[in-house]
Amino acid sequence: MANSQTLSAAANMAPQLRIARYRLRFRADDANLLAGRYLGSAWRGAFGHALRRAVCIMGLPPSCDECALLASCVYPRTFENRPPADAKKLRLYPTAPNPYVIEPAESSDGKHSTVNLGLTLFGRANDDALTVLHALESAGRDGLTPAGVVLDLEEVQMERPGADGPVWETI
């Protein structure tokens, strides 16, 4: 049976995955345009377009595959994540899991729609958090859904550890 020192040493040797959680609150003037819609795919598409426009300095070619900046660019490592060249487990796959999760939810007060968006970033994506948040703000401002619903970012919160559990702090 393992003693507590052995378990503690093993826990300290385990790789650490950085995780950060955010909440974004957007406002739309017309509550009816978003009512009852699932916004997950709309957010993903709008986020991808906004992120690429925000970071691409190569004139937005049709594909990033031949770009000289492929290995260092925020867009492919966030939105079209590829396994590292020396990957052991993912070497057979052309893509790797993207380092983010978007969780849309909508609430309405009758006159306005409040669109709440949860965002979780994993690993290296945390280094690009400001760029990702900027892209999500741009995605909302550019219009969501085929109706082009414009969303204004009102607040961003980040989860921090607290004595009694997580605390959401406005940033």
- Kindly tell me if the per-residue pLDDT of 158 is higher than 70: yes
pLDDT in tens, 37-84: 778 888 999 999 999 999 999 988 888 888 889 888 999 999 988 887
| CA distance readout (Å), 75 to 53, 56, 80, 97 | 9, 8, 7, 14
The predicted structure's pLDDT at residue 139? 96
- Kindly tell me if the per-residue pLDDT of 133 is higher than 70: yes
SS3 73: coil
Q: For residue 35, which amino acid is it?
A: A
The predicted structure's pLDDT at residue 149? 83
pLDDT in tens, 95-119: 889 999 999 986 666 666 788 999 9
Residue with tokens 């958090």: 129
The predicted structure's pLDDT at residue 110? 63
161 contact partners, CB below 8 Å, separation of at least 6: 167
SS3 77: helix
| CA distance readout (Å), 49 to 5, 100, 123, 136, 158 | 49, 15, 22, 10, 24
Consecutive H or E run containing 120 = strand 113-122
Residue with tokens 């906004």: 50
- Kindly tell me if the per-residue pLDDT of 140 is higher than 80: yes
* Domain ranges for the chain: 19-170
Written as six digits, the tokens of 56 are 């691409």
d(CA 33, CA 49): 21
CATH code of the domain made up of 19-170 = 3.30.70
pLDDT in tens, 4-29: 777 677 667 767 889 999 999 998 87
Q: Percent of the chain, pLDDT > 70? A: 86
